[in-house]
Amino acid sequence: MAALRICTPGGGAPEARRGSLAAAGSAVQHGPDLIGFSSWVLPISAGYAVDRRHAAAGGVAACHGLSCADSGRRKNHPRASLVNGVVSSLEDSSGGEPALCVSDSPEDASSSGKVLSDLRRDMVDGISGIPRISAGKKKGMKFRRRGQGGNRLTRRSAPRRASGKSGQDQRILLSEDDIAAILSSVTHESSIEECNSVLIRLEKHSDKTALGFFEWMKANGKLKGNAEAYHLALQAIAWKEDWEAAGQLLHEMVADSGCALDAQAFNGLIYVCAKRRLVDWGTKWFHMMLERDVQPNVSTVGMLMGLYQRIGNLPEAEFTFAKMRKCGIKCVNAYSAMVTLYARLGHFAKSEEVITLMNNDEVVPNMENWLVRLNAYCQQGKMEEAELVLKSLVDEGIALNVVAYNTVITGYGKVSDMQKAMEVFDRLKSAGLAPDETTYRSMIEGFGRADKYKQAILYYRKLRNSGFKPNASNFYTMINLLARHDDSEGATEILEDMRAAGCQCSSIVTVLVRAYGSVGRMHKVLQILKACFYKKILFDATSCSILVTGFVQNSLVEEAMRVLREKKWKDSDFEDNLYHILICSCKEAGCCDDAVRIYNQMPKSATHPNLRICCSMIDVFSIMERFTDAEALYLELKASSCVLDMIAYSVIVRMYTKAGRPEDACLVLEDMEKQKEIVPDKYLFLDMLRTYQKCGLLEKLSDTYYWILKSQVELDEAMYNCIINCCGRAIPVDELSRIFDEMIQQGHLANTVTLNVLLDIYGKAGLFNKAEKVFLMARKQGMADIISYNTIIAAHAKNGDFRSMIYFVQRMQEAGFPVSLEAYNCMLDAYGKAGQLEEFAAVLQKMERAGCEFDHYTYNIMINIYGRKGWIEGVANVLAELKSRGGEPDLYSYNTLIKAYGIAGMPEDAVKLMQEMRIKGIAADRVTYTNLIAALQRNENFLEAVKWSLWMKQTGVAATRT
């Protein structure tokens, strides 16, 4: 039980106290005193008004009736009772709320007689047609009056203040004669007490009338030191929620009338806020009390804590509770409210702390507080403490009610101790109490939690046979129990009860699908539904979609397709959305074949295919590597009237990329760029960068990079890494450095590939300081791999910085990496081109000792170096070794050999190599022709050189890049 709603049983009405209005209004009672007040001086008693003002003034008051003196008879009418420290009406409340009207003050006091006369006339005119009161006892306060057209008596209800937002407390109806009689008894010489008596009576009739008379009192000097009148006026204004006027009246009360602010002045305002749940204004008035050093009382705390409990405002409740204890106020309802709030929010340790504080503060608990304590312990499953609370109740001589027993039953149900719960159930009946619907509901929930199937169904049927109705929680518990115990007939019975209780089909199907799906018995659902209201489901699109989706999620595609074939509703848009959900469910579950089956059954439009469904199916076909079917769907979309959006292009680009056709993906991106209104998201931008990188389109990469910056897409870690990896060689080095610095400043981490790309670009650009900083970062982050070392070694080798080259080779070995073939090749090339042949030979020896197998690049380096020296024999030996290892010269090898033969003065051999290349099908490039022509010219074969030059131009090789 999340919260208990308890009405404190009140005792009999005490003997009425008689006295002056001023004396009654100023009385302050602390504790649970009950006050009734009536006066024989006035035609109509002010008992109710005094009780209400007393509730606002201090103490805990309950009104036991309104005493009326009419035609010599006096009758009592029950009005209100005490609930949580707040006076609340026991009768139905209704009726309108008159508008607030405060008359202007007269210019001088001498005109008071005229003002009062005008006021009397205005009041009488404003209520014309309102009958006299005839005392009655029945609920609703029916009144008899004569109709205007005859002597027949008619019945009317007295206007009343409702407890809602726009209502007020119960009103008393006065006729124009009554008001005229009341006002005629007041003159300029009337005492303050007499004026207050009139104000009380008028305030019970109408706030407008009372406030008008209050202004007359002000004009005639009746408010000096008259705090009681201000209290009444403040509450009348509060009912109108004219808080600005209330603030001005508080200021006037002190500044103009010399009254001291007390709790009663603010309690009238807080009372209205509590009744109407105006938590912000109630809090504001309370804080204003504290700021002006006004001591709150029990009523103040009780009203505020009741408000905070209803609203669930824990911070303000804690503040008010702390102030209460600091002021030494003992309000039992405040402790109850704090325990309830903490328990409701699951702060059970704090709720127990409040109970301990209450005991330490020596506050005597009432019935409500005992029940709140009981509830706090039962919600935690602390049943030993709960039983002690029950014992304390008995020891205090308090008879246990059904609420107490129900709370304990619920607590035992929470801990699944249903043996104890049944004992409490028997104790309840032994005490002469009849179980109510909460009792049975708690027993059902407890047995359900304990998975006691037979007992739960037994108490479920007892609940129905007793004339009570199960609640939603009972239905949910029973369906889950029946699903676990595979009782299809019982499930049909519960479903019929749910229908009879007014549950919607969609809600019933949802509960059923979840229950049977969670225990792996989803295949039983269709059979159960066909036994009750399956035909109704077929006419309801929502229920049908819930059922079909449940089947698909449990891999029962055949059942889902059967329901879709039998459905009776027609809504093409809803149907398309349903099919899309089903296809996506299958795709996410990895059941692509089921997705294809559902798609094939779906009704399709040849001219207007569903874009979302087609995109999902293209994705499904891509996962299945059925790229032909995926492309066919794309071409179908392209030929239709559908306009592709950003998501569609993203799916299609990914399909072509996965199919290994980046060129086709580029064509799709070209089509997308023609639609100027499409702005890619970051995921499509990533696909674009990767696609253009695979195709080597540096210009496109550059354009896309600046498009990303212009579109202000949020750059995350993945985006930064992708930009550097793909666009690093397409954008200026300075811009690359800027984007890398921005990435680091944003706190993102570069991955190994990103760092290697930066090393390569900085190294080739000769920015060795930046390259070494990047390498140091890679080592610190543990991301430096063998490629990182190869890249930094190659950069220094190409620059001829042998010292740095050797340094990083040593660091490579210290990091646990063997010196790679790529590193050796870099050293060979660097030493060879620098003419340091001893070091060149030393590196070759290290490679042999390390067992490195030479690759084409190694042999090409050796051929190039030997050829530069004109060591044809060495070149021949290298070629022989290459061929002995099963290798053949490649294009680079032939280019190097031709150059070497030219340097060695062997142009004929160079021409033979050209012919050998043709025989082997190796196409010569511009370097090949350039080296051959240079070799011929070097050896004065100019005519032959001119021929090869003309041949190179005819073949178009001259136009190609080097």
- State how far Cα 121 lies from the chain centre: 60
With a cut of 60, say whether residue 800 has pLDDT above it: yes
Ranges 56-70, 336-350, 589-603: which has the least confidence:
56-70
- What is the structure's pLDDT at 946? 83
State the CB neighbour count (10 A cutoff) for residue 938: 17
3 state DSSP class of 162: coil
- What is the structure's pLDDT at 161? 52
User: Which secondary structure element, helix H or strand E, spans residue 69, and what is its range?
Assistant: strand 66-70
Token pair 């304590």 is found at: 373
- What is the structure's pLDDT at 177? 64
Q: State the pLDDT confidence band at 85, using cuts at 50, 70 and 90.
A: very low
pLDDT tens-place string over residues 258-299: 898 999 999 999 999 999 999 999 999 999 999 999 999 999
With a cut of 90, say whether residue 667 has pLDDT above it: yes
The pLDDT of 460-472, averaged and rounded, is: 93
The pLDDT of 667-693, averaged and rounded, is: 93
The pLDDT of 26-35, averaged and rounded, is: 31
- What is the structure's pLDDT at 175? 67
Could you tell me if 273 and 285 are in contact, meaning their C-beta atoms sit under 8 angstroms apart?
A: yes
User: Which secondary structure element, helix H or strand E, spans residue 275, and what is its range?
Assistant: helix 263-276
With CA atoms as reference, report the closest residue to 463 among 449, 477, 483, 451. 477
d(CA 84, CA 448): 34
Query: Considering the chain, what is the average pLDDT of its residues?
Result: 80
Q: Domain 753-852 carries which CATH code?
A: 1.25.40.10
Please list the alpha-helical segments (H only) found in 602-661.
Answer: 611-623, 627-639, 646-658
With a cut of 70, say whether residue 687 has pLDDT above it: yes
pLDDT tens-place string over residues 537-551: 999 999 999 999 999
Q: State the pLDDT confidence band at 59, using cuts at 50, 70 and 90.
A: very low
pLDDT tens-place string over residues 385-441: 999 999 998 888 888 899 999 999 999 999 999 999 999 999 999 999 999 999 999
With a cut of 80, say whether residue 56 has pLDDT above it: no
HSE-CB at 603 with a 13 A cutoff on CA atoms is 11
The pLDDT of 671-690, averaged and rounded, is: 92
- What is the structure's pLDDT at 949? 82
pLDDT tens-place string over residues 99-134: 323 333 333 433 344 444 444 444 444 333 333 333
With a cut of 80, say whether residue 621 has pLDDT above it: yes
d(CA 561, CA 398): 64
- What is the structure's pLDDT at 960? 42
Q: What CATH class does 364-445 carry?
A: mainly alpha
The pLDDT of 635-648, averaged and rounded, is: 90
- What is the structure's pLDDT at 855? 84
Which distant-in-sequence residues (6+ apart) come within 8 Å of 668 by Cβ? 649, 652, 653, 656
Could you tell me if 59 and 30 are in contact, meaning their C-beta atoms sit under 8 angstroms apart?
A: yes
Q: State the pLDDT confidence band at 731, using cuts at 50, 70 and 90.
A: very high
- What is the structure's pLDDT at 188? 80
Sorted by where each begins, the domain ranges of the chain are: 364-445, 753-852, 859-961
Tell me what percent of the residues of the chain surpass a pLDDT of 90: 54
Which distant-in-sequence residues (6+ apart) come within 8 Å of 97 by Cβ? 161, 166, 167, 168, 239, 240
Phi and psi at residue 361, to the nearest 5°:
-80, 0
The pLDDT of 771-786, averaged and rounded, is: 92
Distance (Å) of CA 78 to CA 55, 56, 75, 144, 814: 16, 19, 10, 19, 96
More confidently predicted of 649 and 862: 649
* Rg of the Cα atoms in the chain: 47
Tell me the torsion sign for CA atoms 214, 217, 219, 224.
negative
With a cut of 50, say whether residue 313 has pLDDT above it: yes
With a cut of 70, say whether residue 256 has pLDDT above it: yes
The model's pTM: 0.63
Same fold, 364-445 and 753-852: yes
DSSP summary character for residue 516: H
Phi and psi at residue 28, to the nearest 5°:
-125, 120
Most confident of 654-663, 798-807, 841-850: 654-663
- What is the structure's pLDDT at 606? 66
pLDDT tens-place string over residues 853-893: 888 888 888 888 887 777 878 888 888 887 777 777 888 88
d(CA 430, CA 418): 18
With a cut of 70, say whether residue 76 has pLDDT above it: no
- What is the structure's pLDDT at 171? 61
Task: Give the chain's largest Cα–Cα span.
Answer: 150
Distance (Å) of CA 512 to CA 177, 526, 561, 569, 821: 67, 10, 19, 21, 67
State the CB neighbour count (10 A cutoff) for residue 843: 22
